[in-house]
A and B are shown apart, each in its own frame.
Chain A
Amino acid sequence: NAGVMQNPRHLVRRRGQEARLRCSPMKGHSHVYWYRQLPEEGLKFMVYLQKENIIDESGMPKERFSAEFPKEGPSILRIQQVVRGDSAAYFCASSPGARAYNEQFFGPGTRLTVL
């Protein structure tokens, strides 16, 4: 059973370009979480999704950021018109359900560098 997959592992973008980060949850997991780790800072929650639904996006910046988790395919975190401050490691995690006893498993992360 493969773990949580993220791609690309490293992404370089110039200011103003778009970044698309993909997350494939573990098999059988229908809940996906995105977290951001800014340089020299701790991890922060961004968004929580179930298939085709955004459940909690309270940690997502209001502009330029969006997330989806379609019925088929991976979850996508999309950052439009990237700025240098978006440079960070973006981790996704997945769990089989929403109960507290459902552990979240993390992917390897995507390291975004904005030039």
Chain B
Amino acid sequence: KNEVEQSPQNLTAQEGEFITINCSYSVGISALHWLQQHPGGGIVSLFMLSSGKKKHGRLIATINIQEKHSSLHITASHPRDSAVYICAALGQGAQKLVFGQGTRLTINP
């Protein structure tokens, strides 16, 4: 079992829908990253959080430390949101990120 698990692995939705991607981790962490990767592209850091909730535009990230769970939400989804979304955990006392397998999101017009 991976230390960081994401669900779903693939998600297809219509433009305008509310999107939720989930991330569960089995180790103690000091922070959790949400990353975005377009096909053949680089990696963009969306959020880094260690508690509570963060919002940036149409993106919202939440984390529940007790339940070892984080979610990424996209409101009013748009085709340009189509990408792979990756959560990555920074272990306590460690500096290396442990990555989930990614969620491939496709938003159809």
Q: Do A and B associate with each other?
A: yes
When distances are taken between beta carbons in the complex, the residues of chain B under 8 Å from A105 are 45
Please give, as numbers and ranges, the residues of chain A lying within 8 Å of B30 by CB-CB distance. Answer: 100
In the assembled complex, B109 has its CB within 8 A of some CB on chain A: no
Which residues on B sit within 8 Å (CB–CB) of A100? 30-31, 50, 90, 92
- Nearest CB in chain B: distance from A37 CB, A: 9
Q: 5 extra interchain contacts, Cβ-Cβ under 8 A, other than A48-B96, A111-B40? A: A41-B101, A42-B86, A93-B97, A100-B50, A101-B50
Chain A residues within 8 Å of chain B by Cβ, number? 26
CB distance from A34 to the nearest CB of B (A): 10
| Minimum Cβ distance to chain B for residue A97 (Å) | 10
Chain A positions within 8 Å of B57 at CB level = none
A56, A98, A103, A109: the one contacting B45 at CB < 8 Å is A103
From known contacts A100-B30, A100-B31, infer whether A56 and B96 are also in contact, taking CB-CB under 8 Å: yes
Nearest CB to that of B50 among chain A residues? A100
Question: What string of 1s and 0s marks CB contacts (under 8 Å) between B58-81 and chain A?
Answer: 000000000000000000000000
Instruction: Name the interface residues of A99-115: CB closer than 8 Å to any CB of B.
Output: 100-101, 103-109, 111
Which residues on A sit within 8 Å (CB–CB) of B90?
100
Which A residues are within 8 Å of any B CB, using their own CB?
31, 33, 35, 41-45, 48, 55-56, 58-59, 91, 93, 98, 100-101, 103-109, 111
In the bound complex, CA of A79 to CA of B38 (Å): 26
State whether the Cβ of B99 lies closer than 8 Å to any Cβ in chain A: yes
Within 8 Å of chain A (Cβ to Cβ): is B88?
A: yes
Q: Hey, what's the 0/1 contact readout for B80-109 against A, CB within 8 Å counting as 1?
A: 000000101010101111111110000000
State the main secondary structure of chain B at its contact with A. strand
B97 A33 Cβ-Cβ under 8 A = yes
Q: Compute how far the CA of A43 lies from the CA of B33 in the bound complex, rounded to whole angstroms.
A: 13
- Asked whether A44 and B43 contact (CB < 8 A) given A100-B30, A101-B31, A106-B35, the answer is no
Asked whether, in the complex, the Cβ of B42 is within 8 Å of the Cβ of A45, the reply is no
User: Bound complex: CA of A91 vs CA of B98, how far in Å?
Assistant: 14
Within 8 A of A (CB), among B7-58: 30-31, 33, 35, 40-45, 48, 50
| CB <8 Å contact, A109 and B42 | yes
